[in-house]
């Protein structure tokens, strides 16, 4: 398991990565640190009491729906948005009052924002020029950066002569060529078409690893977040819902919001029917299932059992059985997606490997899952831990 010290959230210790910062991790100061920041536009509070510490060289993603404050946080690091309370540290430097052009950050925009009247060379050299780098050195570094983004020899072109993907690669080169302390990426892939997006995803990750730069990535695309990040910060309504590795946030969602936002999840509500020893939950749909509770639960307390579609198998030997009727079935080759009515107006979704044959609509089916393969949420939608 990757260690979990580089990110932590202060006010709400809901995340798996929050606890147990060791002395070793404390020794190296974080690359970027938010200390209880608030950001307000007039009366509207966009970000509330947000704290996060990002380790040098890591790739951290701010993930959330639009309007959750993720872009606002990113812009606050850049200095494009003023914070109304708290502190932002880049390295050892407090930057709240440092103007943007003195913060030494690399910024990549969704719309590329290459200067349309400047050549690729002048675009990439822009940051170096303002750092008083000597001309021959600028030339060398620009060449290097263009090699890195696999567009060597494009120095003399204008941005309008490049495709979207190429423009975004030049934008990336421009942002990293002067070796900033942090690379900020504001939905850099969302303006690209699907094929390009996948390619750039791999490329950005590769370049980040090669250069060892600390990267903060903003996206609303869970797939991007899961595939690229060392750490994901799931944001909702101006604060962090959960901070953890991709596996942690996907497998052990801290809240109902996280469970729903990252992929599909079956949310089965019920009440604890037996506690002490193996815990059982009586579902609203009528069935009783065994679950693994991390602590003894009071009998009769309301819980939600969260099961990912992939964790549901057709028949088999699973401890929990949910009989029902197939509402719809889609065959995907390796697996099939079933929507199953298990009674009590509850439909659940299963993504199960094909064994034997594909069930048809209207057929009876029995889905099962392991007591280990679920997460329990309390009445407030928080994970019970």
Partner 1 sequence: MSGTRRKEEGRWAWRLTGFVTLCVYIFMFAPIVATVILSFNASMFGGFPMTGFSLQWYAKLMNNDAVLTAFRTSLWIALVTAVATTAIGVVTAFALVRFEFPGKQALSTLVILPALVPETILGVGLLVLIKAIDQPRTMLLLVLGHILLAVPYVVLIAQARMVGIRRVYEEAALSLGASRFSSFREITLPLLIPAVVGGALLAFTISFDNTSASLFWRPAGVETMPTQILSMLKISISPEINALGTVMILVTVGIPLVGGLILQSLTKLKRRGEPKEEVR
| Cα-to-chain-centroid distance, residue 122 | 34
Among 28, 9, 29, smallest CA distance to 19 is for: 9
User: How are beta strands 266-274 and 302-307 bridged, if at all?
Assistant: antiparallel
- Burial class (CB within 10 angstroms; exposed 0-12, middle 13-18, buried 19+) of 137: exposed
CB of 199 within 8 A of CB of 125? no
Name which of 97 and 380 has its Cβ closer to partner 1.
Answer: 97
Among 174, 55, 66, 51, smallest CA distance to 123 is for: 174
Shortest distance in whole angstroms from residue 53 CB to partner 1 = 22
Q: What are φ and ψ of residue 294, in 5° steps? A: -70, -15
**Residue 95 neighbours by CB distance under 10 Å:** 23
Among 238, 243, 111, smallest CA distance to 171 is for: 111
Shortest distance in whole angstroms from residue 130 CB to partner 1 = 4
User: In the numeric block, which tokens belong to residue 340?
Assistant: 């199953």
- Mention every residue, 6+ apart, whose C-beta is less than 8 A from residue 262: 63, 222, 225, 226, 234, 249, 250, 253
Among 288, 273, 280, smallest CA distance to 323 is for: 288
Q: Rounded distance, CA 372 to CA 377, Å?
A: 14
Rounded to 5°, the CA angle 220-186-147 comes to: 120
Shortest distance in whole angstroms from residue 120 CB to partner 1 = 10
Name which of 9 and 151 has its Cβ closer to partner 1.
Answer: 151
Shortest distance in whole angstroms from residue 110 CB to partner 1 = 9
Shortest distance in whole angstroms from residue 144 CB to partner 1 = 17
Strands (E), the chain: 32-41, 44-54, 59-63, 85-90, 93-94, 105-108, 182-186, 214-219, 231-236, 239-244, 266-274, 279-283, 288-291, 302-307, 313-314, 320-331, 335-341, 347-353, 364-369, 375-377
Name which of 162 and 303 has its Cβ closer to partner 1.
Answer: 162
Name which of 44 and 101 has its Cβ closer to partner 1.
Answer: 101
Shortest distance in whole angstroms from residue 208 CB to partner 1 = 18
Shortest distance in whole angstroms from residue 95 CB to partner 1 = 13
Name which of 22 and 163 has its Cβ closer to partner 1.
Answer: 163
Name which of 63 and 114 has its Cβ closer to partner 1.
Answer: 114
Shortest distance in whole angstroms from residue 125 CB to partner 1 = 10
Name which of 102 and 360 has its Cβ closer to partner 1.
Answer: 102
Name which of 179 and 339 has its Cβ closer to partner 1.
Answer: 179
Shortest distance in whole angstroms from residue 203 CB to partner 1 = 14
Shortest distance in whole angstroms from residue 119 CB to partner 1 = 9
Q: Rounded distance, CA 188 to CA 198, Å?
A: 12
Q: Give 111's DSSP letter.
A: T
Name which of 176 and 291 has its Cβ closer to partner 1.
Answer: 176
Q: For tokens 């064994």, what's the residue?
A: 355
| Binding residues vs partner 1 (CB under 8 A) | 78-80, 99-107, 109, 111, 113-117, 126-127, 130-131, 151, 154, 156-158, 161-163, 166, 174-175, 178
Name which of 176 and 352 has its Cβ closer to partner 1.
Answer: 176
Radius of gyration of the chain (CA): 24
């Amino acid at each position: 398991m990757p260690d979990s010290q580089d990110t932590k959230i202060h006010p709400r210790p809901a995340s798996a990565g929050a606890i147990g910062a060791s002395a070793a991790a404390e020794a190296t100061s974080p690359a970027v640190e938010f200390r209880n920041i608030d950001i307000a536009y007039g009366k509207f509070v966009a970000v509330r009491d947000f704290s996060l510490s990002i380790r040098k060289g890591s790739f951290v993603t701010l993930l959330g729906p639009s309007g959750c404050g993720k872009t606002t946080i990113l812009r606050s690091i850049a200095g494009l948005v003023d914070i109304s309370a708290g502190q932002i540290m880049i390295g050892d430097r407090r930057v709240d009052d440092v103007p943007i052009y003195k913060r030494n950050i690399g910024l990549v925009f969704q719309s590329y924002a290459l200067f349309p009247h400047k050549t690729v060379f002048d675009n990439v050299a822009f940051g170096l020029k303002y750092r008083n780098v000597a001309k021959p050195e600028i030339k060398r570094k620009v060449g290097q950066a263009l090699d890195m983004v696999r567009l060597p020899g494009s120095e003399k072109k204008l941005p309008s002569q490049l495709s979207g993907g190429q423009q975004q690669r030049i934008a990336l080169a421009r942002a990293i060529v002067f070796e900033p302390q942090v690379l900020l990426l504001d939905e850099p892939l969302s303006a690209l078409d699907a094929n390009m997006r996948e390619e750039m995803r791999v490329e950005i990750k590769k370049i980040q690893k090669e250069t060892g730069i600390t990267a903060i990535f903003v996206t609303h695309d869970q797939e991007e977040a899961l595939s690229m990040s060392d750490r994901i910060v799931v944001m909702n309504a101006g604060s962090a819902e959960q901070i953890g590795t991709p596996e942690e946030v996907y497998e052990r969602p801290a809240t109902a919001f996280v469970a729903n936002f990252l992929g599909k999840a079956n949310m089965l509500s019920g009440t604890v029917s037996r506690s002490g020893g193996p815990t059982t939950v009586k579902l609203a749909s009528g069935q009783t299932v065994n679950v693994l509770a991390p602590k003894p639960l009071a009998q009769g307390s309301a819980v939600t059992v969260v099961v990912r579609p992939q964790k549901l198998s057709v028949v088999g030997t699973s401890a929990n059985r949910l009989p029902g009727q197939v509402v719809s079935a889609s065959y995907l080759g390796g697996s099939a997606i079933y929507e199953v009515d298990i009674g009590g107006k509850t439909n659940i979704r299963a993504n199960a490997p094909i064994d034997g044959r594909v069930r048809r609509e209207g057929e009876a089916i029995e889905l099962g899952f392991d007591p280990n393969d679920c997460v329990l949420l309390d009445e407030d939608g928080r994970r019970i831990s």
